[in-house]
Amino acid sequence: MIRRSYDIVIIGSGAGGGTVAQELSLLCREGVRIAVLEKGPKLRDDEFTGRELEMAQALYEDGGGFLTAERTMTLAFGCAYGGSTAVYTGTSLLPPQRILEHWNVPSLTFADVEQRARKFAVENNVHLVEDELLNENNRLFVEGCRRLNYRVQQFPVNLKGCRSSSLCNLGCPNQAKQGTDRVQLPRAERNGVEVITRCEALRIGEKTVFARVHEKPAGGKGEPSSWEPGEYEISAKVIVVCAGAIHSPALLVRSGLARKLPRLGHGFTCHPAIIMVAEHDRTITNFVGHPKSFYLDQFAESDRFLLETCMYFPFTTAKAMAGFGEAHSRFMRAFPRLQMILVLACDEVDPHNRVSVDGSGRPVVHYRFTPEVRKGLVQGAVTSAKIFFAAGAVRVHLPVAQIPTIERAEAERLNHIAEHPDFKPGKISISAAHLQGGCVMGRGLADSVTDAYGRVHGIPWLFVADASLFPNSLEINPYLTIMALADRVAENIRKEAHTLL
């Protein structure tokens, strides 16, 4: 066992960990030693090729196909320098006031979170994509929504020098997306923070992290870790867990804290999503241009779903569609004519849905689709189909229908399908990338794992600062809100530095 010592150890380098690292890095000038432990690798710029399978394998946990315990949904989350900010599309929305008020966390005000989120919107160059760079996949969504009188909105995105490769979810090959891997982490490193990649936190003891540094696999992408492969015992006066909504609660469970913290692992939500595909009778621009430029949230409160433009890669698209055989292949052969929409259900906390670990300590996510989630996905899918047809599509792939191909002439069947969907978990492909909860913040042990500043109840030196803090689903893309909460946690640690360090 190799021993190391720091004042502050941050576990994870995504939207939460990267932000905490930057915000605490000013303490390095006062001699405070800070380390970030990141399980994934740091890739060189020239290693971002945009090739689907190799990039998914290099940047995502389980190649983007982490299965829930029920095996009815896959979860996609990053495992790399920058965490999931290396693989998101850069969509950066301010937190909704109604959600923050619904969370009802003492001392957590909408004004405070919004102000912090705006700070990062400026810092990470969040803006609307220029009109001339929008592709037809996005324009057709706007057109279809407007014909149906839906209130479509444009996503603010955090890009700089975007060349519209459409490959955001495979790690930007042009380094244009301003995630923590491009902004906060490099700044933290310049200020003196050490980032140790390929370093997996195994468990936390009394002011100690037990970790394993992995060797770079043969033929794998990324730099080797700056530390020798092996087992480490890292002491720290403050530990900030920012490993995301799966690994943060799993790490605390492995550390024997489940008995002390009855809500640990609970409160997991994830915006379960299905990918909708439609075919036009002409080639459209779809795999060039920013893939996610518009969204529709007017049904979030009433029907519990959101729609977003999207454009996925061949394997992901094939997997996302229901069925197989000739009907499936026909859509795939029409790839340059495909339009896509992502349907996300606004799920609520459910007692069954939680994070635990298996016998070997690996995270296990239990998730069942509540009737409200099923309804949200079905309504969202049918609404998407109507938007596709309004935009001129000739056929739509509707995964919640017994026969998924719906020709334009059969569009009147849509309302019947909405009433009688064929929603079979295990048949329909459902995935999620907005993973939230598991170490939720709140008032006390009965309702939460941490207080409103991310401090774990009863453990003054242990903090959480990532999406696992969310007491319930955010109902929008979460990154700016994660950064805002992480900023709040870091500010509180700075204020208490004289007693903590």
Partner 1 sequence: MTTLFPVRGVFRAVVSTVVPEASQLDEQGWQELEMLVEATLRDRPPAMLRQLRLFLRAVQWLPVFRYGRGFTSLSAEKRKQVLSRLQDHRLELIRCGFWGLRAMAFLGFYGRAEALRTIGYAADPRGWGVPR
Residue ranges in contact with partner 1 by CB under 8 A: 48-50, 52-53, 57, 62-63, 65, 70-72, 133, 162-167, 173-174, 285, 287-289, 313-315, 318-319, 323-326, 328-329, 332-333, 335-336, 362, 424-427, 429
Q: Distance of CA 130 to CAs 135, 154, 155, 162, 480, Å?
A: 11, 11, 11, 11, 21
State which residue, 330 or 495, has the beta carbon closest to partner 1: 330
State which residue, 86 or 489, has the beta carbon closest to partner 1: 86
Burial status of residue 161 (CB atoms within 10 A of its CB: 0-12, 13-18, 19 or more) = exposed
**Shortest separation between residue 363's beta carbon and partner 1, angstroms:** 12
State which residue, 427 or 495, has the beta carbon closest to partner 1: 427
**Shortest separation between residue 40's beta carbon and partner 1, angstroms:** 13
Q: Are strands 305-309 and 405-407 parallel, antiparallel or unpaired?
A: unpaired
269, 437 Cβ separation under 8 angstroms: yes
CA distance linking residue 80 with residue 225, whole number of Å: 12
**Shortest separation between residue 4's beta carbon and partner 1, angstroms:** 27
CA distance linking residue 237 with residue 215, whole number of Å: 28
**Shortest separation between residue 165's beta carbon and partner 1, angstroms:** 4
Residue whose entry in the numeric block shows the structure tokens 């989630």? 373
- If you compute the radius of gyration of the chain from its CA atoms, what whole number of angstroms results? 22
State which residue, 4 or 328, has the beta carbon closest to partner 1: 328
415, 60 Cβ separation under 8 angstroms: no
**Shortest separation between residue 383's beta carbon and partner 1, angstroms:** 25
**Shortest separation between residue 125's beta carbon and partner 1, angstroms:** 18
CA distance linking residue 324 with residue 389, whole number of Å: 23
Residue whose entry in the numeric block shows the structure tokens 């576990």? 11
State which residue, 289 or 478, has the beta carbon closest to partner 1: 289
Structure tokens at 447: 């309702």
State which residue, 212 or 328, has the beta carbon closest to partner 1: 328
212 strand-pairing partners: 200, 231
State which residue, 71 or 259, has the beta carbon closest to partner 1: 71
**Shortest separation between residue 109's beta carbon and partner 1, angstroms:** 41
Structure tokens at 454: 């991310």
**Shortest separation between residue 181's beta carbon and partner 1, angstroms:** 17
Apex 254 CA angle, 253 and 259, nearest 5: 40
State which residue, 235 or 285, has the beta carbon closest to partner 1: 285
CA distance linking residue 474 with residue 269, whole number of Å: 9
308 strand-pairing partners: 295, 342
State which residue, 2 or 332, has the beta carbon closest to partner 1: 332
CA distance linking residue 262 with residue 449, whole number of Å: 8
The secondary structure element, H or E, covering residue 203 is: strand 199-205
**Shortest separation between residue 187's beta carbon and partner 1, angstroms:** 26
**Shortest separation between residue 290's beta carbon and partner 1, angstroms:** 9
* Residue whose C-alpha is closest to residue 69's, from 393, 354, 443: 354
214 strand-pairing partners: none
State which residue, 174 or 235, has the beta carbon closest to partner 1: 174
Residue 46 φ then ψ, to 5°: -80, 0
CA distance linking residue 354 with residue 339, whole number of Å: 34
CA distance linking residue 284 with residue 148, whole number of Å: 21
433, 482 Cβ separation under 8 angstroms: no
Enter the DSSP assignment of 137: H
337, 279 Cβ separation under 8 angstroms: yes
* Residue whose C-alpha is closest to residue 306's, from 271, 277, 338: 271
State which residue, 420 or 443, has the beta carbon closest to partner 1: 420
State which residue, 218 or 409, has the beta carbon closest to partner 1: 218
**Shortest separation between residue 430's beta carbon and partner 1, angstroms:** 10
